[in-house]
């Protein structure tokens, strides 16, 4: 059955992979709305090709470029435009494909509009999981996870009672630096840190994979998505990225979701759910898989993982501070202003200085986010 899809963040890695599906597997689906933060040239190409009813660029002075791409497309700007396409009545699903805290406002708008939401923005749940889930429940919205790990867990839980779950086992590739020593990691360049062995992703998430911060964020997201305590969520290093996550049940059974590493698969599942469609990735031949390896996480080697877990367990405004500090530190690392090991340092400093608000409102969370960003930038630029 055809669906109308709004894609928030269509010029990023997830957005582009989603649009690739509309060229073949989902050719009967309609691209209702597209949005981008700054990449107006890429967005204009998408508007010209897919002819959405709406297109949003955050900066108003770039709107005319989109209007030239397709005169029939309604061009909107700013956070108001993004909020609008996140809550369109005719949207069957909103794919939230932006990276970072910027996804929180459109997520809230989609939830309050009672939308089915394809969630590819873990940071929003990390920052404000309780608030988001309350809005989802209040307005009858639904979240379908798009991250490969959470999509895997979502699929492994189907037909089973959450009360029968002993633990969730989230797999991690280990990132591009897993075989290096702490001394080698300390002076790693952005170029080297961006060479992920199994996944093709955006820069920010690839660096988060290198520090294992991404896995910490995923644990927090899983805690909210599936309603399980942190004590029931484990992480294991699995370099081959064939098993995307597992669910262990109280009787000892473990159900795993497996496939070749290709983000189009969890995106497709979210867009077509509860149905499935063929023709996205090649079939798996088990005789060609030489081995499946599993290792424990080296917490000393990857301090960002522990920082994320600590923030999640502390709760309140601490996860927002941790996430904001990480976004700023990662950006400065990519711009070669700080060394790789300083990412964890600045996250730890921001968390150490923060006075937690235990049950914050959305404004307090956004305030904590802003303050942490400012503090980390100031520390870096001293």
pTM: 0.94
In this prediction, residue 89 carries a pLDDT of 97
Return the closest-CA partner of residue 245 out of 216, 220, 218.
218
Angle in degrees, 0-180, between the axes of helices 342-353 and 318-334, rounded to the nearest 10 = 150
Mean pLDDT across the stretch 292-312? 93
Q: Give the confidence band of 241 by pLDDT, cuts at 50, 70, 90.
A: very high
Q: Strand runs (DSSP E) across the chain, as ranges?
A: 4-8, 30-36, 54-57, 74-77, 93-96, 116-119, 142-145, 165-172, 233-237, 243-249, 254-258
Return the closest-CA partner of residue 220 out of 341, 304, 155.
304
Q: Give the confidence band of 313 by pLDDT, cuts at 50, 70, 90.
A: very high
By the 8 A CB rule, do 43 and 34 touch? yes
% of the chain with per-residue pLDDT over 70:
100
- Torsion angle (degrees, nearest 10) of CA 327, 332, 334, 338: -120
In this prediction, residue 306 carries a pLDDT of 95
Q: Is 264 exposed, middle or buried (0-12, 13-18, 19+ CB in 10 A)?
A: middle
In this prediction, residue 316 carries a pLDDT of 98
Q: Give the confidence band of 67 by pLDDT, cuts at 50, 70, 90.
A: very high
**Residues in Cβ contact with 329 at an 8 Å cutoff, skipping those fewer than 6 apart:** 338, 342, 343, 346, 347, 376, 380
Domains defined along the chain, listed by start: 4-145 (3.40.50.720), 147-261+292-313 (no CATH), 315-382 (1.10.1740.10)
Query: Distance between CA atoms of 305 and 161, rounded to whole angstroms?
Result: 29
Residue with tokens 């939230």, as numbered in its chain: 96
% of the chain with per-residue pLDDT over 90:
84
**Residues in Cβ contact with 349 at an 8 Å cutoff, skipping those fewer than 6 apart:** 325, 376, 379
**Above 90 in pLDDT, residue 382?**
no
pLDDT digits (tens, 9 = 90+) for 105-159: 999 999 999 999 999 999 999 999 999 999 999 999 999 999 999 999 999 999 9
**Above 80 in pLDDT, residue 249?**
yes
In this prediction, residue 331 carries a pLDDT of 96
Coil, strand or helix at 90: coil
Q: How far is CA 29 from the centre of its chain?
A: 23
Cα–Cα separations (whole angstroms), residue 235 to 31, 214, 374: 36, 12, 32
Query: Distance between CA atoms of 196 and 81, rounded to whole angstroms?
Result: 34
Q: Strand runs (DSSP E) across 142-201, as ranges?
A: 142-145, 165-172
Q: Give the confidence band of 304 by pLDDT, cuts at 50, 70, 90.
A: very high
Q: Which residue has the higher pLDDT, 149 or 1?
A: 149
Of 81-90, 91-100, 161-170, 197-206, which range is least confident? 197-206
pLDDT digits (tens, 9 = 90+) for 347-364: 999 999 999 999 999 999
Q: Which residue has the higher pLDDT, 169 or 190?
A: 169
In this prediction, residue 177 carries a pLDDT of 82
**Above 80 in pLDDT, residue 197?**
no
**Above 90 in pLDDT, residue 43?**
yes
Query: Distance between CA atoms of 15 and 13, rounded to whole angstroms?
Result: 6
Q: How far is CA 205 from the centre of its chain?
A: 8
Element (H, E) at 303: helix 303-314
Give me the half-sphere count of Cα atoms (radius 13 Å) on the Cβ side of residue 335. 10
In this prediction, residue 284 carries a pLDDT of 87
């Amino acid at each position: 059955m055809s669906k109308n899809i709004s894609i928030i963040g269509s010029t990023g890695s997830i957005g582009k992979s989603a649009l690739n599906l509309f060229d073949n597997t989902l050719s009967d689906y309609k691209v209702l709305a597209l949005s981008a933060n700054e990449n107006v040239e890429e967005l204009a190409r998408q508007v010209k090709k897919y002819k959405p009813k709406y297109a949003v660029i955050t900066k108003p002075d770039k709107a005319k470029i989109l209007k030239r791409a397709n005169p029939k497309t309604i061009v909107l700007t700013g956070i108001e435009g993004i909020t609008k396409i996140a809550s369109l009545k005719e949207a069957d699903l909103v794919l939230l494909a932006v990276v970072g805290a910027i996804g929180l406002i459109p997520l809230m708008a989609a939830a309050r509009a009672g939308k089915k939401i394809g969630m590819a923005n873990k940071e929003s749940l990390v920052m404000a999981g309780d608030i988001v889930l309350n809005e989802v429940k209040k307005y009858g919205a639904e979240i379908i996870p798009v991250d490969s790990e959470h999509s895997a867990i979502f699929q492994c839980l189907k037909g089973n009672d959450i009360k029968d779950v002993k633990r969730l086992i989230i797999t991690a590739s280990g990132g591009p630096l897993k075989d290096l020593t702490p001394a080698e990691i300390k002076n790693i360049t952005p170029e080297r840190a961006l060479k992920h062995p199994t996944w093709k992703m955006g820069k920010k998430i690839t660096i988060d994979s290198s520090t294992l911060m991404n896995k910490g964020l995923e644990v927090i997201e899983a805690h909210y998505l599936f309603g399980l305590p942190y004590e029931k969520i484990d992480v294991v290093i699995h370099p081959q990225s064939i098993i995307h996550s597992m669910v262990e049940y109280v009787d000892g059974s473990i159900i795993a979701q497996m496939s070749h590493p290709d983000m189009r698969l969890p995106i497709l599942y979210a867009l077509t759910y509860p149905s499935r469609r063929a023709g996205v990735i090649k079939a798996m031949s088990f005789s060609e898989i030489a081995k499946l390896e599993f290792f424990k996480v080296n917490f000393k080697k990857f301090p960002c993982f522990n920082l994320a877990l600590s923030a999640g367990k502390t709760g309140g405004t601490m996860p927002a501070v941790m996430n904001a500090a990480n976004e700023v530190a990662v950006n400065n690392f990519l711009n070669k202003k700080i060394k790789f090991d300083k990412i964890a340092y600045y996250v730890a400093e921001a968390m150490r200085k923060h006075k937690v608000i235990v049950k914050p409102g959305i404004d307090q969370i956004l305030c904590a986010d802003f303050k942490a960003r400012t503090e980390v930038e100031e520390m870096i630029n001293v």
